[in-house]
Chain A
Amino acid sequence: MKKFLYCDGLVAPLDRANVDTDAIIPKQFLKSIKRSGFGQNLFDEWRYLDHGEPGVDSSRRKPNPDFILNQPRYLGAEILLARANFGCGSSREHAPWALQDYGFKVIIAPSFADIFFNNCFKIGLLAIGLDSSVVDKLFDEVNAAEGYRLTVDLEAQSVRTPHGESFFFDIDPFRKYSLLNGLDEIGLTMQHAEQIAAFEARHAASQPWLFQ
């Protein structure tokens, strides 16, 4: 997993609620057996005017000039500002992969769908939930000022605006620790291997039919 400490990044606003994982990365790209290369097809159906298929060179396709990420002022954005229930729908980790591959390091929204939220932390993409009134305010600010950046400090659990305002965000201590250190979660869990084996033995004794 990628380490995450700090991000001072350009912000792109995606002003829609309930953005689902089919919109983040359409299913035809899920046929890939790789973990990388999804960034060029992030938000494919919104981002391009023509239909995308795997293996097609995106640089030859027609971008949709109206889509937010195609506007020059948001080029190179590392922080995505989104609305409620971001990432709803399927469990595809391809959605966080695509966001990360595109260059996003942080997603800020009033709320996230559970599986998506969870998947983000597995790959070192920081999903931050802030109060919807704060998110509203950030939308206003980013729309008003070209080049608007936010500073995200994981250690301090804070999001700072260019005006010096700072918002605290919540994160599970275990997730924070893993992110700060870029830990291999499987390796961590394997430290509990004996405990798992002991649990398994007890479990098999009490419900043997589960182990047929």
Chain B
Amino acid sequence: MQTLYDKLWQSHVVHEKSGKPDGMALIYIDRHLVHEVTSPQAFEGLKLAGRKPWRLKSILAVADHNVPTTERAHGITDPISRLQVETLDQNCQELGITEFRMNDRRQGIVHVIGPEQGATLPGMTVVCGDSHTSTHGAFAALAIGIGTSEVEHVLATQCLWAKKAKALQVLVEGELGHGISAKDIALAIIGEIGTAGGTGYAIEFAGSAIRSLSMEGRMTLCNMAIEAGARAGMIAVDDTTIEYLQSRPFAPKGGLWEKAVAHWRTLKSDEHATFDKVVRLDAASIKPQVTWGTSPEMVTTVDGKVPDPSRISDAVKRHDMEHALQYMGLAPNTPISDIHPDKIFIGSCTNSRIEDLRVAAEVVKGRSIAPSIKLAMVVPGSGLVKYQAEQEGLDKIFRDAGFEWREPGCSMCLAMNEDRLAPGERCASTSNRNFEGRQGPGGRTHLVSPAMAAAAAIAGHFVDIRKIY
């Protein structure tokens, strides 16, 4: 009896260090995604040691973190960002690595374009020098984020040293309420188990509520596995997975497709497989989630209140909570619906896919953003998502409501480009991290779903999406 994780692990072990399955193992990597921020030192190390990439065709590169989301015809203004992007271009060109350059329509956030291109396939091991690589686990792939030394290691050897994690099953059964999305499930899980609750585990999301999610929703969920501390999140293959992948550019075609599908169908946990830990959630009880603090576990429901540190007995926790509330400029017991964002950000590898944009557009359609909102922006996850949205007229809906419609990239998820919060500014954001300074020094982030971000833009404060729909 094997879990999905067991199957993915076992089928990639090249060598076991101690000969025992619990020690370090050398794992073969099928797909290596590369972006500009975590790769320059790896390419440099490779070159200095006189090494070459082991398998060029396994690599797909794209610049996403530093790229501007405004007019790109004249390149990148910030010279340091420009150098980083040009370094990637140069490394890829020299070595013959496939790269989607900044002005390629296929360019976008690395975790959006991998699946979009079919470069992420079920049964693969996928790595990227980025913690949100867990996203790709939505396709029953073993996808893990790595550091720069490991990027270099995978480039040189096509392998990674890793220790097998424990298996955690998160079972979400039942039907989601109207207006509730994968983002709410993710935040509810993190609220439940904490940001370190998944540390040392690989999470498999399962249950009827997960099966009913689209691939976009599944990616949102697996994306946030890292926010629960788990290096990998994954979901079994079903018809939804296979339909999504059909005729994607990098996906197999013809007879090979049939063969692949037959194999992919086996990528699920055996019926009586045992997990080291199981967490259960009732889908029907999940409400719209809003974070109030500086860690994704500092989350509550839209009808809730900012918590009161004086009620916390654990000294370290109380101290953290006080610190977070001070940073966020929030008083204890403030109702969430009394919080007024200054800016709205719809984007990031968590929530910038076509379905996310459709849901948000549905909310803003025919309405206008509140006068108190200084900036509301939509940043599609890729050029192709942007194109698709424009075909559907979503850009017009957003623009008419007062949103800015931007070029694809990471943008204000981490504010490495021009898009950022000013100190003290408050943002309703569909991204994944509300750490101090994440969206700009002194900026205050509230993580929400796309529908909730859109609704906050219209109302000028957080509102219960279930009452709008």
Q: How far is the CA of A118 from the CA of B161 in the complex (A)?
A: 10
B14's contact among A85, A173, A195, A209, by CB below 8 Å, is which?
A: A195
Can you report 27 residue pairs joining A to B where beta carbons are below 8 Å apart?
A16-B320, A16-B323, A17-B320, A20-B295, A23-B437, A27-B414, A32-B84, A35-B148, A45-B441, A85-B199, A88-B229, A91-B145, A92-B148, A114-B200, A115-B146, A115-B147, A118-B146, A173-B18, A186-B152, A189-B161, A192-B26, A192-B157, A192-B159, A203-B28, A207-B263, A209-B260, A212-B57
Q: Let me know if A189 and B30 touch, CB within 8 A.
A: no
Give chain A residues whose Cβ lies under 8 Å from the Cβ of B415: 27
Which residues of A from 160 to 207 have beta carbons under 8 Å from B?
172-175, 184-186, 189-190, 192-193, 195-196, 199-200, 203, 207
By beta carbon, the residue of chain B nearest A120 is B147
Q: Could you say which of B37-45, B279-287, B390-398 contacts chain A?
A: B37-45
Most buried by B among A89, A172, A200: A89
Q: Does B325 have its Cβ within 8 Å of any Cβ on chain A?
A: no
Q: Let me know if A113 and B229 touch, CB within 8 A.
A: yes
By beta carbon, the residue of chain B nearest A210 is B30
Q: Tell me the smallest distance from the CB of A4 to a CB of chain B, in Å.
A: 15
Q: Let me know if A30 and B37 touch, CB within 8 A.
A: yes
B158's contact among A20, A96, A196, by CB below 8 Å, is which?
A: A196
Give chain A residues whose Cβ lies under 8 Å from the Cβ of B57: 211-212
Q: How far is the CA of A192 from the CA of B415 in the complex (A)?
A: 41
Q: Does B433 have its Cβ within 8 Å of any Cβ on chain A?
A: yes
Q: Let me know if B149 and A22 touch, CB within 8 A.
A: no
Q: Let me know if A115 and B28 touch, CB within 8 A.
A: no
Give chain B residues whose Cβ lies under 8 Å from the Cβ of A199: 14, 28
B159's contact among A32, A94, A196, by CB below 8 Å, is which?
A: A196
By beta carbon, the residue of chain B nearest A33 is B40
Q: Let me know if A196 and B416 touch, CB within 8 A.
A: no
Q: Let me know if B441 and A51 touch, CB within 8 A.
A: yes
B118-139 contact mask (Cβ, 8 Å, vs A): 1 or 0: 0001011000011101000000
Q: Does B436 have its Cβ within 8 Å of any Cβ on chain A?
A: yes
B252's contact among A122, A189, A212, by CB below 8 Å, is which?
A: A212
Q: Let me know if A189 and B263 touch, CB within 8 A.
A: no
Task: Count B-side interface residues using an 8 Å CB cutoff.
Answer: 80
Q: How far is the CA of A16 from the CA of B18 in the complex (A)?
A: 37
* A binding-site residues for B, Cβ under 8 Å: 15-18, 20, 22-23, 26-28, 30-35, 45, 51, 54-55, 83-85, 88-94, 96, 111, 113-115, 118-119, 122-123, 172-175, 184-186, 189-190, 192-193, 195-196, 199-200, 203, 207-212
Which residues of B from 17 to 36 have beta carbons under 8 Å from A?
17-18, 23-24, 26, 28, 30
B87's contact among A16, A18, A33, A94, by CB below 8 Å, is which?
A: A33
Give chain B residues whose Cβ lies under 8 Å from the Cβ of A85: 195-196, 199, 229
Which residues of B from 262 to 306 have beta carbons under 8 Å from A?
263, 295
In the complex, the number of residue pairs spanning A and B with C-beta atoms less than 8 Å apart equals 195
A91's contact among B146, B196, B263, by CB below 8 Å, is which?
A: B146
Q: Does B362 have its Cβ within 8 Å of any Cβ on chain A?
A: no
Q: Tell me the smallest distance from the CB of A191 to a CB of chain B, in Å.
A: 10
Q: Let me know if A115 and B131 touch, CB within 8 A.
A: yes
Q: How far is the CA of A15 from the CA of B323 in the complex (A)?
A: 12
Give chain A residues whose Cβ lies under 8 Å from the Cβ of B130: 90-91
Q: How far is the CA of A93 from the CA of B45 in the complex (A)?
A: 14
Q: Let me know if A189 and B199 touch, CB within 8 A.
A: no
Give chain B residues whose Cβ lies under 8 Å from the Cβ of A175: 24
Q: Let me know if B49 and A186 touch, CB within 8 A.
A: yes
Q: Does B15 have its Cβ within 8 Å of any Cβ on chain A?
A: yes
Q: Tell me the smallest distance from the CB of B354 to a CB of chain A, in Å.
A: 25
Give chain A residues whose Cβ lies under 8 Å from the Cβ of B330: none
Q: Let me know if A18 and B320 touch, CB within 8 A.
A: yes
Most buried by B among A90, A119, A200: A90
By beta carbon, the residue of chain A nearest B88 is A33
By beta carbon, the residue of chain B nearest A185 is B153
Given contacts A186-B152, A207-B260, A209-B257, 5 further A-B contacts (CB under 8 A): A20-B295, A23-B435, A26-B437, A89-B131, A91-B130
Q: How far is the CA of A27 from the CA of B200 in the complex (A)?
A: 26
By beta carbon, the residue of chain B nearest A172 is B24
Q: How far is the CA of A35 from the CA of B257 in the complex (A)?
A: 43
Q: Does B430 have its Cβ within 8 Å of any Cβ on chain A?
A: no
Q: How far is the CA of A85 from the CA of B243 in the complex (A)?
A: 39
Q: Does B206 have its Cβ within 8 Å of any Cβ on chain A?
A: no
Give chain B residues whose Cβ lies under 8 Å from the Cβ of A17: 316-317, 320
Q: Does B47 have its Cβ within 8 Å of any Cβ on chain A?
A: no
By beta carbon, the residue of chain B nearest A117 is B199
Q: Let me know if B38 and A93 touch, CB within 8 A.
A: yes
Q: Tell me the smallest distance from the CB of A155 to a CB of chain B, in Å.
A: 19
Q: Let me know if A92 and B121 touch, CB within 8 A.
A: no
Q: Tell me the smallest distance from the CB of B139 to a CB of chain A, in Å.
A: 13
By beta carbon, the residue of chain B nearest A85 is B196
Q: Let me know if B263 and A195 touch, CB within 8 A.
A: no
Give chain A residues whose Cβ lies under 8 Å from the Cβ of B83: 31, 33
B437's contact among A18, A22, A203, by CB below 8 Å, is which?
A: A22
Q: How far is the CA of A139 from the CA of B41 in the complex (A)?
A: 36
Q: Does B6 have its Cβ within 8 Å of any Cβ on chain A?
A: no
Give chain B residues whose Cβ lies under 8 Å from the Cβ of A91: 38, 129-131, 133, 145-147
Q: Let me know if A45 and B131 touch, CB within 8 A.
A: no
